[in-house]
Amino acid sequence: MKKCILFDLDGTLTDSGAGIIHCGQLVLEHYGLPIPEKKDMRWMVGPPLRVSFPRLQIPEEKTEEAIEIYRYHYERTGIFENEPYPGIADLLQKLQDDGHRLFVATSKPEYMALEVLNRFDLTKYFEKVCGCQRDGVRDKKADVIAYLMQYVQPGEEVVMVGDTVFDVQGANEHKIPTVVVSWGYGVEQDMLDAGAVAVTHTMEELYQFLNK
């Protein structure tokens, strides 16, 4: 059966961790806060910044300011510390050729997501790219999915593809199954505990699962 497939971006389509973590460290440096090692900040890839920054001990009243500082750095350098996972373009091409409808559902600001996808010539595979807005509208993955559901026709099968519990939890709110990938930034068992229906370890495994 042809499906509507909602892809997460960071950690699923592209490996953007280096830029996200680096810019997170620059925000911490700005506020004179302790800066963890990069390996201890991998969890930053996936959740909205409004979720991440409290965990980094940034005061609540500084959250919006910290987001602007982060975006200032990310738009200039962090966005380029990024690359598609090997084989992702071939996967998307095959799924498109098979007649599936492809979408992007990301917590990254929509304009940034489009810039990343355009940079790597991936935009052409997707009917719609949806992310959050600068003012925090659609900040949560469930809100992004809710927006995209207007493009789904009654009776169409929908599946989410992601790499963190945030993808699984967001899809759960809409009773959408999530298949997760192991090459991203989530913990496999955490994602299974959250309700992921499968973990795939290669592009071919993901392709075969989506064509069931």
From 8, 15, 163, 167, the catalytic residue: 8
Q: Which long-range contacts (CB under 8 A, 24 or more apart) does 46-52 make?
A: 46/8, 46/10, 46/11, 46/107, 46/163, 46/164, 46/165, 46/166, 46/167, 46/184, 46/185, 46/186, 47/107, 47/164, 47/166, 48/107, 48/132, 48/139, 48/140, 50/136, 50/139, 51/166, 52/24
Structure tokens of 143? 């809100």
Mark whether 167 is an active-site residue: no
Which residues lie across from 177 on neighbouring strands? none
Which residue's entry shows tokens 């499968």? 198
29, containing H or E segment: helix 17-31
Q: What is the spatial distance between Cα 53 and Cα 71, in angstroms, rounded to a whole number?
A: 13
Tokens of 92: 């998307």
Interatomic CA distance for residues 111 and 130, integer angstroms: 9
**Which pair of tokens denotes residue 66?**
């910290």
131/110 Cα distance (integer angstroms): 4
Q: Which positions are catalytic?
A: 8
